[in-house]
């Protein structure tokens, strides 16, 4: 089987498993991205996310993650839903309403990898879903899935930015795709809407000012007082820059039941959140990415919104 045939089969299998897009790029060092990442870290724009500075060489060169790597296959999986929580309650970013995407997407990537091995034999490969030193958006952009918008999220012309990314890095040469055009144009809606000024200029984000950083990544007992009144009721993550993006007006409902929010979560009222117990937290978020904050962190966020 030649690389064109194998590439076509992989993309067909990806669609069958529910991925919305699959693009492939050559496994090589990301020289331009390495310089940008180094500058971003040197300016301390990662705040207290110390892990962002770890494994720098691996982060910019997939051949250090998978020996003799030849290709990076990027996948996107829609998670958009028009379903919302109760009005005027502390808000959760859309991606975290359902089951933990790490597990759901990783399971599908493993299924693709098993399919590849059935076609191509003993393949050396690894699957990644936002849990290893991989510059996911850079690879997705290189593979033609979309472009990085002014909020640095990956955007697609037909369906916006509400999707997860995953990768398979493998030692098989495949047919490579090309990047697509940037369609942001003169639009600055995401920049104008950010209440903490985290998007400090087009295509540049100060991670230490992002609401998602404060509500998920920051492990301090207190959120800085200067942020009071700026969170617009977000207690876990933030979707503001996505909500105002005109391209996201084209987003369509996902087709993965595991990403649906439970009725119990959607029916939680303000008082329910304020009276949330640790036992309730553990059952409500048993298989959710929200468990990452732990009970103490989510309670801190809820209390901060009241202050």
Active-site amino acid positions: 130
CA-to-CA separations, 169 to 62, 75, 105, 160, 225, in angstroms, rounded: 7, 11, 15, 25, 43
d(CA 197, CA 189) in angstroms, rounded, equals: 12
Count CB-CB contacts under 10 A for residue 73: 29
Which residue stretches of the chain are H helix?
A: 3-16, 31-42, 56-60, 101-120, 136-142, 189-193, 211-212, 240-243, 263-266, 270-274, 278-284, 294-306
DSSP string, 48-64: T-GGGGTTHHHHH-GGG
CA 86 to chain centre: 24
């Amino acid at each position: 089987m030649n690389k064109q045939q194998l590439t076509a089969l992989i993309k067909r299998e990806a669609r069958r498993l529910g991925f919305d897009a699959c693009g492939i790029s050559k496994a090589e060092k990301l020289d331009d991205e390495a310089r940008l990442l180094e500058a971003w870290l040197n300016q301390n724009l990662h705040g207290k996310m110390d892990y962002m500075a770890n494994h720098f060489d691996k982060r910019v060169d997939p051949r250090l993650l998978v020996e003799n790597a030849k290709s990076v296959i990027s996948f996107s999986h829609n998670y958009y839903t028009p379903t919302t929580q109760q009005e005027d309650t502390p808000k959760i970013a859309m991606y975290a309403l359902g089951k933990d995407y790490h597990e759901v997407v990783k399971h599908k990537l493993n299924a693709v990898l098993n399919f590849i091995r059935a076609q191509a034999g003993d393949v050396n490969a690894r699957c990644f879903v936002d849990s290893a030193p991989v510059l996911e958006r850079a690879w997705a952009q290189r593979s033609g899935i979309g472009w990085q918008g002014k909020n640095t999220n990956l955007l697609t012309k037909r369906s916006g930015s509400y999707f997860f990314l995953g990768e398979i890095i493998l030692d098989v040469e495949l047919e490579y795709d090309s990047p697509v055009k940037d369609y942001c144009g003169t639009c600055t809606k995401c920049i104008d809407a950010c209440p903490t000024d985290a998007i400090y200029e087009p295509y540049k984000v100060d991670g230490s000012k992002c609401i998602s950083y404060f509500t998920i990544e920051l492990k301090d007992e207190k959120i800085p007082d200067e942020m009071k009144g700026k969170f617009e009721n977000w207690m876990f993550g933030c979707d503001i820059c996505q909500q105002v993006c005109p391209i996201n007006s084209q987003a369509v409902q996902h087709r993965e039941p595991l990403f649906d929010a439970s009725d119990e979560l959607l029916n939680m009222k303000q008082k329910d959140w304020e009276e949330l117990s640790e036992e309730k937290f553990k059952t409500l978020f048993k298989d959710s990415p929200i468990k990452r904050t732990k009970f103490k962190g989510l309670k801190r966020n809820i209390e901060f919104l009241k202050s």
